[in-house]
């Protein structure tokens, strides 16, 4: 057993001494890569302590072999090499009583006897990462190298900390050199060079004034502007979206119109050409400002270039109504999205520092002879395969997009302006209400072509209904019951004028012959048929029909009242609790907000929060043999009142005498409990209990 006189340490084996001498003589490196661990035959109490010997070629009993993660001279003695290896938590279940070093040829070149220690496994309830350092006297360490597999070896915390410090120092030095450089990105064109080529941009800052009349002041550092001259260029940040035509006024100079270039020349801006927060150019041509900076009329595409900072994912530039191609370091990426007003783009994966980011914004391609929006709208209405108002039969009970079932329903003129203009009031019956029209009802009807002056079905207009008409020939039969009642081979017509006739097929003296009855039924004619659903084309495009239609819908989206049809918002929790708002609706969930109940002999009912959280509680104390005057003590409430109790009452149950002789007494009530006792005019013991009821909020 190891004790205070035991010496620990390591030395080269005979093979190790020979290998070292051979390496020194030939001047070749000596690669040492593995540490061997042994338990010397078992536990210290069962096996003698190992004694390292120079003649050893293997450990007494090897239990583990692992790669070294470090091999370095001892700070205390350069002739001593320290071999270091790390045991992870999942390796163990053995004693560490002997150590060895193995070179790349598989020879055990050093052996040592460490202080015994047990390396447990995680499954034993204890786990740790254990670092083993083996000190070996080598003498000459000049040719000794460490051979490791970086994918397997484990590093100590000290090793990682030192590596991190070295890396951080390197990065700081590189970053400082980068930021201190006069031109850290020589591959990019400098802003000063752009300004020299394109003309100086005077900075106006954020636009003031109104959305349609912008005002600016020259910011500090910009030259004083005494007059406008052709070729002057300015830059500003928009604060508001424009509603239409816009003017710009710089300082005390006269306001000038802002125009954009199109195929037909310079025109006023359309609503939304200027977006809040976006950067724009104003180029003065001697008469007006021409807007630049966004994808405008006549431009194939614009390029926006950025140099990303570390972790940057968002880039601001205007791109409404355009297609965007994003490039990161020259490679196209698709993992990006635009915000609601198309002034910013966000990458799904943040950028690294100094990444080159470019956006190509395509829009407003112009082709000679192309259709205008008005011409396209006209084509949709007139050249569509099915114009609005067309009726088609469908074999399934599902209304296709763009159609409505002709079911006689009432529709809004604002929602279907084209259909309303076509159908008009043809099918109205008078109760449609203002702003509405009625569809035709084709359910269960056969359709007939309008006579339109031909003279076959006169006196009818388009959309009129007609009842059934036209004879149906019916044939019936009977057997004559007696002879001589009907003339032979005769036709008998009823005297009442009904459209029937009997034909006697025998002679007058025969009986049992068959008579035939012919009749005409004018209630209707019904051929074989297939039930279909008739639908009418309601709109041509799968989207809303334009600004006029949307404007007409404003009335339907207005605030609803008891007298006006419109929309209602869902009330917030605070509005429901306050209870004073009359312009919002309450959802079922909010109706029950705060409601709670427990049904039972001892229970409670908590009203919803909008009723103030009024709470009712009740309980029963079981009957038992007690003295007439009995203190029931403090009884805990099923739940605590949220704020305070209001009142409580109690009643004695099961008393043997008259109720007038026994009564309940409420001694006290708090938010969490009540105190009760029974009072009595009797001075006896009998069976009684208690019922109580409490109210609070």
Supply the mean pLDDT for the chain. 80
pLDDT of 453 reads 83
pLDDT confidence of 279, banded at 50, 70, 90?
A: confident
The average pLDDT across 142-166 equals 60
pLDDT of 124 reads 84
Q: Which residues touch 276 (CB under 8 Å, ≥6 apart)?
A: 238, 239, 240, 241, 341, 343
Kind plus residue range of the DSSP H or E element containing 552: helix 547-552
Neighbouring C-beta atoms of residue 44, cutoff 10 Å: 16
Helix/strand/coil for 421: helix
Q: With beta carbons less than 8 A apart as the criterion, state whether 249 and 215 touch.
A: yes
pLDDT of 221 reads 53
More confident residue, 686 or 64: 64
Using CB atoms within 10 A of its CB, is residue 161 exposed (0-12), middle (13-18) or buried (19+)? exposed
Q: With beta carbons less than 8 A apart as the criterion, state whether 9 and 102 touch.
A: no
pLDDT confidence of 245, banded at 50, 70, 90?
A: very high
Checking if the pLDDT of 168 tops 90, the result is no
The average pLDDT across 63-75 equals 88
Q: What digits encode the pLDDT tens for the residues 33-48?
A: 899 999 999 888 888 8
Read off the pTM: 0.28
pLDDT of 685 reads 77
More confident residue, 571 or 370: 571
Rounded Cα distance, 254 and 603, in Å: 80
The average pLDDT across 141-170 equals 62
Point out the least confidently predicted range of 348-362, 480-494, 570-584: 480-494
pLDDT confidence of 545, banded at 50, 70, 90?
A: very low
Q: With beta carbons less than 8 A apart as the criterion, state whether 5 and 32 touch.
A: no
Checking if the pLDDT of 133 tops 80, the result is yes
Checking if the pLDDT of 72 tops 90, the result is no
Neighbouring C-beta atoms of residue 173, cutoff 10 Å: 10
pLDDT of 535 reads 93
Which residues are registered as beta bridge partners of 257?
Answer: 247
pLDDT confidence of 637, banded at 50, 70, 90?
A: very high
Looking at 27-156, list the stretches that DSSP marks H as alpha helix, in order from N- to C-terminal side.
none
What one-character-per-residue DSSP string does 236-297 give?
A: EE--S---S-EEEEETTSPPEEEEEEETTEEEEPPTTSS-TT-EEEEEE-SSSEEEESS--T
Q: Which two tokens stand for residue 86?
A: 């790390």
Q: Which residues touch 467 (CB under 8 Å, ≥6 apart)?
A: none
Q: How far lies 419's CA from each of 51, 389, 415, 435, 445, in Å?
A: 105, 6, 9, 13, 22
Point out the least confidently predicted range of 161-170, 239-248, 441-450, 601-610: 161-170
Checking if the pLDDT of 408 tops 80, the result is yes
Cα separation of the two ends of the chain:
77
Checking if the pLDDT of 670 tops 80, the result is yes
Point out the least confidently predicted range of 52-66, 83-97, 299-313, 633-647: 299-313
pLDDT of 345 reads 93
Q: With beta carbons less than 8 A apart as the criterion, state whether 71 and 81 touch.
A: yes
Rounded Cα distance, 401 and 9, in Å: 89
pLDDT of 34 reads 93
What one-character-per-residue DSSP string does 474-506 give?
A: EEEEEE--STTSS-TT-EE--TT--SEEEEE-S
Q: Which two tokens stand for residue 19?
A: 């290998």
More confident residue, 686 or 617: 617
Local structure of residue 50 (DSSP, 8 states): P
Q: What are the φ/ψ torsions at residue 422 (nearest 5 degrees)? A: -80, -50
pLDDT of 518 reads 61
pLDDT confidence of 295, banded at 50, 70, 90?
A: very low
Kind plus residue range of the DSSP H or E element containing 358: strand 356-362
pLDDT confidence of 166, banded at 50, 70, 90?
A: confident
Checking if the pLDDT of 470 tops 80, the result is no
pLDDT of 486 reads 58
Of 539, 568, 530, nearest to 446 (Cα)? 530
Q: Where in the chain is the domain with CATH 2.60.40.3940?
A: 596-696
Architecture of 596-696 per CATH? Sandwich (2.60)
pLDDT of 557 reads 67
pLDDT of 547 reads 42
The average pLDDT across 492-497 equals 58
Rounded Cα distance, 20 and 23, in Å: 5
Q: Which residues touch 406 (CB under 8 Å, ≥6 apart)?
A: 391, 439, 440, 441, 442, 443, 534, 535, 536
Rounded Cα distance, 316 and 306, in Å: 10
pLDDT of 194 reads 43
Rounded Cα distance, 451 and 467, in Å: 16
Q: State the pairing for strand pair 80-87/500-504.
A: unpaired
Which residues are registered as beta bridge partners of 647?
Answer: 695
């Amino acid at each position: 057993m190891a004790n205070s006189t035991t010496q620990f340490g390591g030395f080269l084996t005979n093979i190790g001494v020979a290998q070292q001498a051979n390496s020194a003589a030939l001047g070749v490196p000596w690669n040492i890569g593995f540490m061997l661990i042994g338990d010397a035959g078992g536990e210290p109490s069962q096996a003698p302590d190992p004694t390292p010997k120079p003649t050893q070629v293997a450990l007494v009993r090897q239990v583990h072999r692992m790669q070294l993660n470090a091999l370095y001279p001892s700070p205390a003695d350069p002739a001593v090499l320290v071999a270091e290896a790390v045991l992870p938590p999942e390796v163990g279940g053995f004693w560490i009583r002997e150590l060895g070093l193995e070179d790349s040829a598989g020879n055990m070149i050093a052996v040592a006897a460490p202080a015994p220690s047990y390396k447990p496994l995680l499954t034993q309830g204890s786990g740790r990462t254990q670092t083993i350092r083996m000190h070996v006297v080598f003498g000459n360490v000049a040719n000794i190298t460490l051979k490791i597999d970086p994918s397997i070896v484990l590093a100590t915390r000290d090793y990682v900390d030192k590596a991190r410090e070295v890396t951080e120092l390197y990065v700081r030095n590189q970053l400082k050199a980068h930021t201190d450089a006069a031109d850290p990105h020589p591959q990019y064109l400098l802003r000063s060079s752009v300004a020299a080529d394109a003309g100086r941009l005077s900075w106006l800052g954020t636009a003031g004034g109104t959305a349609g009349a912008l005002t600016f002041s020259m910011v500090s550092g910009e030259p004083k502007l005494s007059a406008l001259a052709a070729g002057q260029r300015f830059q500003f940040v928009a604060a508001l979206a424009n509603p239409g035509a816009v003017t710009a006024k710089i300082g005390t100079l006269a306001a000038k119109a802002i125009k954009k270039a199109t195929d037909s020349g310079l025109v006023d801006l359309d609503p939304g050409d200027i977006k809040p927060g976006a950067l724009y150019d104003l180029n003065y041509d001697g008469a007006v400002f021409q807007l630049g900076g966004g994808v405008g009329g006549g431009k194939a595409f614009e390029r926006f270039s950025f140099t990303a900072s570390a972790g940057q994912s968002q880039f601001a530039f205007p791109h409404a109504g355009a297609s965007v191609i994003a490039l990161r370091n020259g490679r196209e990426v698709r993992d990006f999205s635009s915000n609601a007003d198309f002034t910013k783009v966000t990458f799904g994966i943040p950028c690294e520092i100094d990444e080159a980011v470019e956006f190509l914004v395509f829009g407003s391609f112009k082709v000679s002879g192309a259709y205008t929006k008005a011409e396209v709208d006209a084509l949709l209405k007139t050249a569509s395969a099915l114009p609005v108002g067309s009726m088609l039969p469908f074999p399934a009970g599902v209304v296709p997009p763009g159609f409505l079932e002709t079911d006689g329903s009432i529709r809004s003129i604002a929602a279907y302006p084209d259909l309303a203009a076509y159908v008009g009031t043809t099918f109205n019956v008078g109760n449609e209400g203002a702003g509405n029209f009625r569809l035709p009802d084709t359910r269960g009807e056969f359709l007939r072509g309008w006579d339109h002056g031909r003279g076959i079905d006169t006196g009818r207009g388009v959309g009129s209904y007609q009842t059934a008409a036209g004879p149906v020939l019916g044939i019936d039969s009977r057997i004559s019951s007696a002879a001589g009642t009907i003339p032979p081979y005769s036709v008998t017509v009823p005297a009442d004028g009904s459209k029937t006739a009997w034909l006697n097929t025998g002679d007058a003296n025969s009986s049992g012959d068959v008579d035939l009855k012919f009749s005409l039924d004018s209630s209707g004619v019904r051929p074989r048929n297939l039930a279909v659903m008739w639908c009418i084309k309601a709109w041509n495009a799968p989207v809303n029909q334009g600004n006029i239609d949307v404007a007409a819908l404003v009335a339907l989206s207005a605030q609803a009242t008891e007298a006006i049809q419109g929309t209602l918002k869902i009330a917030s929790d605070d509005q429901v609790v306050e209870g004073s708002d009359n312009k919002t609706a309450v959802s079922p969930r909010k109706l029950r907000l705060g409601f709670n109940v427990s049904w039972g002999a001892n229970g409670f009912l908590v009203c919803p929060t909008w009723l103030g959280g009024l709470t009712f509680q009740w309980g029963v104390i079981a009957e038992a043999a007690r003295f007439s005057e009995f203190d029931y003590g403090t009884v805990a409430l099923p739940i605590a009142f949220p704020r305070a109790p209001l009142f409580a009452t109690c009643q004695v149950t099961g008393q043997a005498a008259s109720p007038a002789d026994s009564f309940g007494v409420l001694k006290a009530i708090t938010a969490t409990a009540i105190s009760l006792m029974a009072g009595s005019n009797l001075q006896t013991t009998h069976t009684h209990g208690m019922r109580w009821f409490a109210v609070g909020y």
